[in-house]
Amino acid sequence: MKRHVWRPLYVVIGLVAFILVFRFFYVPTDFGVQERGYTFGYHRLQNEQEWKDYPAKFKGSAYCAECHDENATSIAESGHGIIPCEDCHGAAFNHPEDPETLSIDRGRDLCLRCHSQLLMPSSQRNDLPGIDPTGHNAGIECADCHNPHNPSLEDM
């Protein structure tokens, strides 16, 4: 064959070789077909560990009770005992080291998430005590009258 045929062919072969070499160094060794097969499991295995190492922010009410045990026992007996501490007190992160104090949400909007009255016949929402946010002491914080840790109206 003549040289004008070979010359572009060398270019193509060179390109293919370059791509293969680049791929060899660029693609991690753990990348490939894993347990779930080619269709669903074609990935970089190390990424599973990376997701497992993602830092958790919420620590759970049991973690709070390790230090704040008096609060935990008294609140658990009240009507709000089912609410996790971190729902109002915010995520613990690395409390008590970082942050040293948590910013508590005492806002009216937080209470209204459950206690704004809506007619929801096929939901537990119907069983919760509810108010009309525009009619029931609008503009005042709920915590001014109600104790969030003991919402019983008799004890008010």
Listed ranges 69-77, 84-92, 95-103, 140-148: which one lies at the site for another protein (CB under 8 A): 84-92
Question: One symbol per residue from 44 to 83: x for binding another protein (CB under 8 A), - otherwise; what is it?
Answer: x--xx--xxxxxxxx-x---------------------xx
33: three-class secondary structure by DSSP: strand
Instruction: Determine the residue type at 144.
Output: D
Nearest CB to another protein, comparing residues 8 and 135 = 135
Residue with smaller CB distance to another protein, 9 or 19: 19
Q: Kindly determine how many residues on this chain lie close enough to bind another protein according to the rule CB under 8 A.
A: 42
**With CB under 8 A as the contact rule, which of the stretches 1-9, 43-51, 68-76, 145-153 interacts with another protein?**
43-51
Label the pairing between strands 31-33 and 42-44.
antiparallel
- Distance between CA atoms of 64 and 90, rounded to whole angstroms? 11
Measured CA to CA, the distance from residue 124 to residue 95 in angstroms comes to: 33
Q: Which long-range contacts (CB under 8 A, 24 or more apart) does 28-37 make?
A: none
Ramachandran angles phi, psi of 150, nearest 5°: -145, 85
Interaction site with another protein (CB under 8 A): 31, 34-36, 39-44, 47-48, 51-58, 60, 82-84, 86-87, 91, 109, 112-114, 116, 118-125, 128, 133
